Structures are given as C-alpha cells and as structure tokens.
Amino acid sequence: MEAITHASSACCCCGVSAAAAVPKAFLTASIVFQPSILFKRTFTCSSSRLLQASLCPVSSSPIPFLIRNSSTTPGSPLPRPRLQSSPRPSSNLLRSSGGRSGSSNIRKKKISRPQRQKPVVVVKRTSEECVPSLEEASISVRTLYQNGDPLGRRELGKCVVRWISQGMRSMASDFASAEVQGEFSEFRHRMGLPTIGGTPADGGAGGAAIGGLAFVIQAQPYLYAVPMPKGLEALCFKACTHYPTLFDHFQRELRDVLQDLQCQAIFSDWRATESWKLLKDIANSAQHRAAVRKTPQSRPIHSGMGMELEKAKAMQAKIEDFVKHMSELLRIERDSELEFTQEELNAVPMPNGKQDTPKPTEYLVSHGQAQQEQCDTLCNLNAISSSIGLGGMHLVLFKVEGNHRLPPTTLSPGDTVCVRTCNSRGEGATSCMQGFVNNLGEDGCSIIVALESRHGDPTFSKLFGKNVRIDRIQGLADALTYERNCEALMLLQKNGLQKKNPSILIVATLFGDKEDIMWLQQNNIVEWGQANLDGLIEKGKFDESQRKAIALGLNKKRPILVVQGPPGTGKTGLLKELITLAVQQGERVLVTAPTNAAVDNMVEKLSDVGLNIVRVGNPARISTIVASKSLGHIVDDKLAVFKKEFERKKSDLRKDLRLCLNDDSLAAGIRQLLKQLGKTLKKKEKDTIKEVLSSAEVVLATNTGAADPLIRRLGAFDLVIIDEAGQAIEPSCWIPILQGKRCILAGDQCQLAPVILSRKAMEGGLGISLMESASNMHEGMLTTKLTLQYRMHDAIASWASKEMYDGLLQSSPLVSSHLLVDSPFVKATWITQCPLLLLDTRMPYGSLYIGCEEHLDPAGTGSFYNEGEADIVIQHIFNLIYSGVLPSTIAVQSPYVAQVQLLRDRLDNYPEASGVEIATIDSFQGREADAVIISMVRSNTLGAVGFLGDSRRMNVAITRARKHVAVVCDSSTICHNTFLARLLRHIRRFGRVRHAEPGSFEGPGLSIDPLLPSIN
C-alpha cells in the first residue's frame, strides 16, 4: 500500500490541489491524544470563514486529517502540503520589516520607530534541515514521561524543539493578526472558549479542560506545515500531541510576536492585548494548572534533623510513594466527580406517574455506604425576590409554584450550585450561573442562592418569570479543591524533609518508623510527655482524660497529637480551652475543619473568650451568626470612615469631570486622579487585610481554605488544629499541616468518614482519613482518647462503647441514669421511663403489618420511603408530646431523604408538633436531642439494608439522643445484618419492644397508650 494518501479533488474554496500529498502519519500521534473526538470531526471544504480559519494555519485551505498506513517507512521524510499564500494580512503584518513584503490590505500610518528596535523574528518556511546529533538520534520515545512537564531539549533535542517553535510561531502570528483585523472572537471560538459554565478563569466546565484538546487539534496543521527533522519523526509525533509542551512554546512565541507588533507601533502595550489576556486567563485556570502540573522534583536530602542520611532517604522514599499513590487516587476521584456531575446536569426529572419504575443507582460513598441518593436537583422553581449580600453576592429567593414544600433534597448551605432556566419537563438550559446555597427556609418551602457578582445586576431579571432548575455541581465546583489538594502533595514531596519546612517534625513522625521516633526522642528533638497544667486550669473543670489531652496538646515539643472524642465527651469545649491556653502562651493558632459548618461552629464557640479571631473564607459560605468575625466584615468596619471620605472625593471629581468635558487636557487630568484614587483604595484595603491577619491570634478556615494566599503569607503558625479530622481526606489535611510547627487532629474516626464517589479510589485508600491512619501508628503513642461522656443515658452509651469504642467509653454519673421523666413537666409513663424502645412493624407471629413495605421514590432519586413507618413515627411523636415532652427536644432521623420529606409532609398537618426537627442522619452529626426517633425504612424479603449497615452512620444516629431512643423498623429485614442484629438485641435487653400497627392518627390501629405496659 502507498505510504501517503491523496485527496480526490481540488478544494473549491481555496484552490489547493487535492493531489497535495499529506502524510498518513498525521493521525498516528493524534490518535494517542483523543481518537474519538478527532474521528468525529468532519474536515470538508466550506465557504464558511470560521470553518476555514479553524483548519488552515496560513490560508483558508482545509488540511485533510488522514490515517497513516502501517506500511509507512519510519524515518522517511514527510512531504509538505502545498499551501496557498494567505489573502489575510496576518503574515504580512508580521513580515513588514526588513526584506519582507508588505500588504496593501491594511493602510498603516508612518511611525517613528524606536532607536533600539527589537529585531522581528522571521517565520522560516524554508526546508532548511536540522541535523540531529548522536545524542538526539539515540533518544527513545519510551523514556519520555507522561506527566504535565513540558518536553524540552533534554527530552526532545534541539531539532524537534526548533520544529515545534516554527509551527507555534505560525500559529501565534495568526492569533495576533486576528486581533488586529478584529476577528479575535473567531479564535476564541476555535480555542473552545467561552463555554458552558464560564471562562477558564472562573473554573468553568468547559474552560481549559476542553480548550486543551481544542488547542492541540488547532496546532496540528501549523506543525505539519513544517518539515519534520529526518529520523526524529517519532519524537515529533510525541511532542505534537503533548498539550503542556505546545502551550509552553506557544506562550513564548506569542509574546515575541506581540512585542514585534509593538515595535511596529501596531500595539501600544503588548501586555494589554486581548490575545495576551486570553492566554493568561487560560494559564491561570485551575484546569490548565492541573493539566500542565509539573512533577515535583525532590530536593537533595540533608540531615536537617541530625538524622542519618540513609534514614532520611528512606523517609523521602515513603513520601514519594505516598504522594504518587494519593495523586492518582485524587485524579480517579476527580474523574468520577466530573462524570457524576455531568450526568446530573444532563438528567431530566420525570413527572410522577409518567415513567417506568426507576432503578436505584449504586454509588459508593464512605465506608459501607452502598447508595448515594440523587436528590441534589430542584426543578420548576420560581424566582421571588433578590437582594445584595456579603461580598456583593446576589441573593435570590426561590420557591415552588403554589408555595408548596420543596421536594426531597440533599442540598445544604454552602453547596455550590448551577442555576439555570428549564422547561416544564425540567430540562436545563445550556448556560448556567454558578453560586452557593445561602439558606434553606425553615418552612421547607424556599431556598436562597447566592449568585456570584460576575453575573451582574440583571441576575434577577434573567430568572424572573421563568422556570428555574438548581443543580449541585460538586464535581465542577471542586476544581480549586482538587488543585489545592494536589499542590499540598507536591509541597509535601518537595519540602517535607527540608530544614526550612516548619512542619518537618510532623512529617518525620508520620513517615518514620518506631526507631526514627525513638531516635528523635533520645536526641531531645521531640518529647511525648505532658505539659505542666498547674495554675492553668481550675480543678474539677475537666475530667482526667480531658486534662491529659490538654496537657499533651500544650507540649510545644510534641509534633502531633490525635484526640479521639466519642459522642458527648466534650471535644469542642476541650479544643476551646486548649486554643485559649495556647494563645496565652504566645502561640499563633490556625484552626481548620473539612466543612464550613464545622468551622463556623468553632468560631461561635471562641467568640465569647476574648480572643482576636478572624474567619477567612467566601462570605457566601460563612454563617450569618459569625459573619462579624469574618475577614471581609472586619476590614469593612476598619475602612468605613476611609471609604466614606473616598466616595465623597470620587463624587466631587466626577462632578468636576462633567464640567470640563470640552477641555481634553483638564479632563484627562481628572481621569488620572480618579484612577489614582482607585489605586489608593486598593492599596489601603490590601494593607488593612494584612494588618488584620497579622494581628490575629487565631485564624480559622476550611482545610482547603487554608491554602488561600492571604493565609500562606502569614508565615508558619505555632499550632495547627484540625477539627472533625475523621471526615477529611488525607491530602486536604496536609494543606494546613504544612503551615504549622505542631498539629492536633481532633474528631472521631468511628463516626462519619470522608465521602468518596469512586469505588476504585475508595478501595485504594482515599477514604481513610489521616486521623484514622495516624491513630494506628507507633503503637498508638500519637493518640489520646476522651473516655467520659456527658450526654447519654448509660443504656444508650453502653451500646456505642461496646460496638465502637472497645468498651472504653464510660458514662458520667450526672447523665448515666437520666430519663425523659426527669425533665420538668413530663409525666411518668412507661415511654418517658424507657431509654431504649423498639417499635417493630413485624407482627409477633412473623407477618408484616399492611402498609409497612418499603417503596422506591417515583421521582427517580434512588431514595426509599415507608408510609407505615411514617405513621408510627407520627404517633410516637404525639405520645411524647402528650406526656409533656417539648416538641423542640424531639428529633426524627432517617437515612433516606424521601422518608424525611414524607415525615415533614405528614407533620405539617399538625401545628402542635411544630418544633420537632426531622433530618437525615448525616446532617445531624454534631447535634443532640432529648428524644430521638429513627425510621429505618427498609423492609423487603431479600434482607437488603443498603447503607444502614454502615456502623459509623448508625453510631451517629443512636448517639444523638440524651434520654430516649426509639427505633422504628422491620426486625426481620434489619436482622439480616449482624451489626444491626446486635443493636436490636441490645434494645431488647436494656429497653422495651412494641409491635406497632400503622393507621391514621385519628383512626384505629395506631394507639400506643403510654400509660399501658409494654409488650416485651
């Protein structure tokens, strides 16, 4: 077969002969990059100027994409396509100096050239050959790595680098000349920008991620118009599809081209051109930085701690293996998030009763969780009102038409969402506005979304009178989170064991073995004992385990401490005291947590102790309760007088400007004053922010928020505390850890774990938190446990102690026997004197009560509900209320959002029950109530319990109660899981059992008279 393929006819648009030989090798390298997309594109001639421009580097001629035959001789010179000279002025503009011909298409003014003019680089189109050296000829393609480092001379050789530069020079020339001709929008379209979801600068869905592929495709004709160096074709194929390499060369060539045009007085400032601004937007996007991420090169290891060099090298090897493994898991999880998010954004909710029975979609989330319900989309909402919130965000209130309750949803304040119009079927429009959930109405009928200010003032008018759809876009929103997690791993590998790293002892402790830890202790580099608390803490204020944790945390020579705080053990109060004492000792403290809610909770606890605290983060995600402690609020308060004077001067200058519009010189001077005034305000704001943060004793942010440059510039903190560390993935914890000399991980690895979407990433260990892994290191010497709980009746706590805490959790005498009946105005009934209650929907002889079967949510959310259990829960709520228990002290939990919504709808019919909180188990972690009712929902012949079998989730559910727990379930189904079977046996032994038949609240069948004895 022939080595090259010829087209069969001439192009009607540009006259290029179809017989022009085009190398079959063209697609070989491209297929490596993305074959499916390349083959889907149809490259045919067209009169469309946009299509022509997108296919040919110097003319309107399309260059065919042909497939290389396997019989093509490797190393043979590739024929160059015949290209018609361009009628466009792009090349002429760039070749107008020296001996290059000019163009009559553009009339240029005579200009005085600078005396020291930079010579214009000529784009050489000659067939001058570059002779490869012996070293270049011996380079093997297989040795080239596949990461994001640009390939340079060391990897490719000077001939291939020169070949790339010539092609990228041609592309840069067209790029710049398009701006001169006013055709720059076409180039933006060709680069895949802008796309749905925003520009690359704001991390939109289609930014650099799609632009990277489009960039490589557009670069191919320019590269293949230049002859490849003989014998180096394989290296050329490798380089021409490597996005980081092409972008690196294109950036340099575009800079040179724009500087040449500035020398020709075509541009006044090449940095201010649209071409250069767009390039920088791409380069600054999170997706681009992830694509061109350079492999961290570990610095030479020195014995910075006095340790033997071999031991330090062994630690470094462990760090590199860890970083490589975690980086791969993060990439896998990121891909899963993007795929899941795209599916959600493209999903079309089906109206009830108009679809086949939906099948639940299985997603692995956290340990043992078999399903994640798809309740993160709200459709057919109406925009009701709009206002301006903190940070200039536009707060838009949405409600369902008819003022009905919102459908089941897992959306919560702080979630990033995509807001767009939709049709009556719920199909979303292609463009969307990104924002955050600001608040969910207490009545369950409204949601407030904070939309980013970049959408402008007409935000509300774009949505008013239209059906609106809100989607959680956790995958796309986490582009910055993913970037910062990867960056933390890079810093760990690069600087972890460097002497200048303030956290070097933390790194050595976590990556060293027991011998290394003992060596550090023997050389008095670290100490694992307790600090002296004499005179620091009042006697009797804390129990023995709490005092031990505080003493260990205040030891300045202890690099890391893990504090495990089971439910009710006073972990938050302990951290509050520890932070206060650390500040009194002159330490600067950084406090982080994986969620904004956890950070705001800590801010609220610290607000009344007199410390200078600053909360750093997105204003839209900070609770209004603690907004006064946020950086933006503090800065605004300090600049209030200055801004008032600034606005006055600005107003006076604008009035003066209107009066002297006819005097150009005077108007120009006033405009310059206004510009200088704006610069003064920015500088004042910058200085004030620096002053506020520098004087702060405690800085609080999320784990990923700790990567904010404002915090990084503060230098090393004396102490870093990560709260709820058991819910954070390990890479995110390294972001704050690397900024501190000591670290305290606080939380409970026996409660909810990090949420992981990818099964592969989960199995690889991404779901194992740093707290969990550190607590098992060095025979437990890094960990201390709080062992006395102050929340639950002992019958409740003893189950958690035995199942989750190795029997170490003890109950304080203050709470070990307290019951509902001990509360004021509560009657003495068998229910109020019962700490544990099982309401079984299974009859004593084994049959299931009618109506207690589980049902799959017809809305297609993948969630389950159980109407019979809902009736029983409502009846039990009223039994408690009639016994004198306050509704505000009752909480109802269910693992399924469909059941939560059903319970809310049922309870709305009874105003006397207002105040009862109904929520999912996951959203209730960290809170408590006197009486807790749990609806298990699942009831089937297969014994399938879904994620009810997750021991951590059930531990959270049971331990929210102080005095009373009621479990409503089908015992036959639940007992198929051994863990849950042990829970039911514990209830039978230490509580009571009642076989409860559902029915209407007013009708027969539901009466559980609290004055009657129970049936055991």
* pLDDT tens figures, 748-785: 999 988 989 889 999 999 999 999 999 999 999 999 99
According to the model, what pLDDT value does residue 566 have?
95
- pLDDT tens column, 375-409: 577 887 888 887 766 556 678 888 887 777 777 67
According to the model, what pLDDT value does residue 783 have?
96
Sign, CA dihedral 62-68-71-75, equals: positive
| Residues in Cβ contact with 668 at an 8 Å cutoff, skipping those fewer than 6 apart | none
Q: Report the C-alpha gap between 968 and 839 in whole angstroms.
A: 5
Q: Which two tokens stand for residue 706?
A: 């700790």
Q: Which two tokens stand for residue 163?
A: 């070949």
- pLDDT, greater one: 412 or 670: 670
9 pLDDT higher than 50: no
Q: Report the C-alpha gap between 497 and 780 in whole angstroms.
A: 23
- pLDDT tens column, 801-856: 999 999 999 999 999 999 999 999 999 999 999 999 999 999 888 788 888 999 99
Q: Which two tokens stand for residue 777?
A: 């290191």
- pLDDT tens column, 634-647: 998 998 888 888 88
In this structure, the strands spanning 433-440 and 416-421 are antiparallel
Task: Give how far Cα 185 sits from Cα of 191, 219, 278, 881, Å.
Answer: 10, 18, 11, 67
According to the model, what pLDDT value does residue 187 have?
62
- pLDDT, greater one: 882 or 241: 882
- pLDDT tens column, 101-111: 333 333 333 44
Q: Mean pLDDT across the stretch 267-292?
A: 79
Q: Report the C-alpha gap between 144 and 879 in whole angstroms.
A: 72
Lowest-confidence region among 17-31, 454-468, 511-525, 572-586: 17-31
Q: Report the C-alpha gap between 400 and 403 in whole angstroms.
A: 6
- pLDDT, greater one: 668 or 744: 744
Task: Kindly report the average pLDDT of the chain as a whole number.
Answer: 77
Q: Report the C-alpha gap between 46 and 48 in whole angstroms.
A: 5
CA atoms within a 13 Å half-sphere pointing along the CA-CB vector of 703: 29
According to the model, what pLDDT value does residue 414 have?
72
- pLDDT, greater one: 63 or 187: 187
- pLDDT, greater one: 520 or 348: 520
- pLDDT, greater one: 221 or 304: 221
According to the model, what pLDDT value does residue 347 have?
55
- pLDDT tens column, 701-717: 999 999 999 999 999 99
Q: Report the C-alpha gap between 299 and 496 in whole angstroms.
A: 10
- pLDDT tens column, 790-804: 999 999 999 999 999
According to the model, what pLDDT value does residue 92 have?
36
- pLDDT, greater one: 270 or 772: 772
Residue type, 706: A
- pLDDT, greater one: 546 or 9: 546
428 pLDDT higher than 80: no
Instruction: Looking at 306-391, list the stretches that DSSP marks H as alpha helix, in order from N- to C-terminal side.
Output: 309-346
Q: Mean pLDDT across the stretch 30-50?
A: 34
249 pLDDT higher than 80: yes
Local confidence band at 138 (pLDDT 50, 70, 90 cut-offs): low
696 pLDDT higher than 90: yes
Residue whose pair of structure tokens reads 């108007």 in the numeric block:
667
Q: Are 65 and 26 in contact (CB under 8 A)?
A: yes
Q: Report the C-alpha gap between 927 and 258 in whole angstroms.
A: 60
Lowest-confidence region among 195-204, 309-318, 380-389: 195-204
Q: Report the C-alpha gap between 696 and 1015 in whole angstroms.
A: 61
Q: Are 397 and 386 in contact (CB under 8 A)?
A: yes
Local confidence band at 189 (pLDDT 50, 70, 90 cut-offs): low
Q: Report the C-alpha gap between 560 and 777 in whole angstroms.
A: 12
* 3 state SS of 427: coil
732 pLDDT higher than 60: yes
Sign, CA dihedral 991-995-998-1003, equals: negative
Q: Are 968 and 996 in contact (CB under 8 A)?
A: yes
Q: Report the C-alpha gap between 169 and 223 in whole angstroms.
A: 10
Q: Report the C-alpha gap between 689 and 681 in whole angstroms.
A: 12
In this structure, the strands spanning 468-472 and 4-5 are unpaired
Q: Mean pLDDT across the stretch 4-24?
A: 38
- pLDDT, greater one: 651 or 9: 651
Full set of structural domains in the chain with CATH:
4-74+149-291 (no CATH), 347-477 (2.40.30.270), 494-785 (3.40.50.300), 794-995 (3.40.50.300)
Lowest-confidence region among 99-103, 163-167, 401-405, 493-497: 99-103
Q: Mean pLDDT across the stretch 563-583?
A: 95
According to the model, what pLDDT value does residue 148 have?
64
